[in-house]
Amino acid sequence: MLRVPGQDRPRDRTLHPGLVPDRRPRVRRQGKGAARGPAGDRAVTRSRRAAGLLLILALGATAGCKYLEKRQIAQLLDRRAAALAAGDANSYFSTYANTARDEWPGLASAREKLAERLKTQPIPTVTFVKREYFIKGEKAVVEERFTLEDKARAPGRRYDETGHLTLTRGPDGWRITGGDEVLRLLAGRIEEETLIEQTLFRREAALVKKDIDSYLSLVSPRYRHKGEGPAELEAKVRRNFQIYDDIRFRSFDRKIWFFGDTATVEQRFSMEAGQVGTPQSFNGRERFELERTDEGWKFVRGL
């Protein structure tokens, strides 16, 4: 075969021995930057729209379930508030689960004490200021801020509190399982606070009068604080009574926390006294621990 100058050499189309020509139709692959036809673009658009619609529907269904659960819990808590306003202890506890537990004063005792308290007029008033719902599966926690006013005993008491109710969902719907700060107040906390304050006031009177026997009668035999027992505490108090005269004592801004049969008290104080004829003043904050005994609340730490 003659080769003409400028003309490429013809390709040798002879197959290599053992090779068979590929007769399959070639398919053009679409890369990221490859152009699509109108039909392909429409298919992709429809696919994306469908995925977006499914996402919106899923989010809507989740939000709808949360709203329904929140409304069901709110209705339960409204029933509890209405029962309290009506003085109906049985209806109040109908919002509780059979498996409910509470650390203080215990539900068995709380039922009796609440029923007894609601028989006394005037019935305490409770105003719920705000509720926040935290729901996860079959469990929920409701943070509720409320104001409770109890005027059954002069001069009356007002509590601005925040409670954390725990709930669970069972066959009968949502029910309370614990954390009811309203119940704790009405089922004994108010009465116990009154008894604790009586102990605190008796201590203050003993300080002013320098009555060592009255002071020590308020101290538990189990008293321990910074290595001091009852004997060391007695020696310290006697020494202070010898040093200071004309003692005046005032306490305020008191807070009380309960832990079963023990309580922690934190309060601010102002004290004035004379030391060898020289007036002295003391201001500060003190913290005590007390325990419930057959003889009332007594100090076990902090004096």
CATH number of the structural domain spanning residue 165: 3.10.450.50
Same domain, 144 and 238: no
Residue 118 maps to a domain: yes
Identify residue 23 by its one-letter amino acid code: R
Residue 265 maps to a domain: yes
Name the pLDDT band for 257 (thresholds 50, 70, 90).
confident
Same domain, 224 and 278: yes
Same domain, 179 and 218: no
Residue 57 maps to a domain: no
Name the pLDDT band for 15 (thresholds 50, 70, 90).
very low
Same domain, 86 and 160: yes
Same domain, 224 and 289: yes
| pLDDT one-digit tens code per residue, 88-111 | 999 999 999 988 876 566 777 888
Same domain, 161 and 225: no
Same domain, 112 and 220: no
Domain containing residue 245: 210-301
Q: Indicate the pTM of the whole model.
A: 0.62
Residue 16 maps to a domain: no
Long-range contacts from 286-294, C-beta under 8 angstroms, 24+ separation: 288/264, 289/262, 289/263, 289/264, 289/265, 290/196, 290/199, 290/262, 290/263, 290/264, 290/265, 291/220, 291/222, 291/261, 291/262, 291/263, 292/192, 292/261, 292/262, 292/263, 293/220
Question: For residue 280, what pLDDT is reported?
Answer: 86
Q: What is the number of domains present in the chain?
A: 2
Evaluate if residue 116 carries a pLDDT over 60.
Answer: yes
| pLDDT one-digit tens code per residue, 196-222 | 999 999 999 999 999 999 999 999 999
Proportion of the chain above pLDDT 90, given as a percent: 48
Q: Tell me how far apart the alpha carbons of residues 170 and 185 are, in angstroms, rounded to a whole number.
A: 27
pLDDT: which is higher, 21 or 191: 191
Residue 146 maps to a domain: yes
Q: Tell me how far apart the alpha carbons of residues 108 and 96 are, in angstroms, rounded to a whole number.
A: 12
Same domain, 231 and 140: no
Q: Tell me how far apart the alpha carbons of residues 47 and 50 are, in angstroms, rounded to a whole number.
A: 5
pLDDT: which is higher, 35 or 202: 202
Mean pLDDT across 256-266: 87
Evaluate if residue 237 carries a pLDDT over 90.
Answer: yes
Tokens of 300: 């076990």
Name the pLDDT band for 2 (thresholds 50, 70, 90).
very low
Same domain, 77 and 161: yes
Same domain, 115 and 214: no
Name the pLDDT band for 271 (thresholds 50, 70, 90).
very high
Mean pLDDT across 117-146: 91
